[in-house]
């Protein structure tokens, strides 16, 4: 159900934001502005996801952070 998805997303935003040292309200505001919380959002220039990252940016940041893209 949507409520379960919403709860999971809210939990993820708070826990991941705090783990990375960011204000969860700022992260939520960016997500609202970029994708209106649509996980499948895609821009005409290829940016995808909640925060509308371009694949090249995601790959670059993942390399710096040593995480899988």
Active-site pick, 14, 24, 34, 41: 34
Q: Can 5 be counted among the known catalytic residues?
A: no
Element (H, E) at 2: helix 2-20
Q: How far, in Å, CA of 66 to CA of 7, rounded?
A: 28
Catalytic residues: 34
């Amino acid at each position: 159900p949507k409520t379960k998805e919403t709860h999971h997303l809210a939990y993820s935003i708070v826990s991941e934001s705090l783990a990375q040292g960011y204000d969860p309200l700022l992260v939520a505001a960016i997500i609202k502005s970029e994708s209106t919380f649509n996980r499948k959002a895609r821009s005409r220039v290829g940016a995808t996801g909640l925060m509308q990252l371009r694949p090249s940016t995601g790959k670059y940041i993942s390399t710096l952070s040593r995480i899988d893209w």
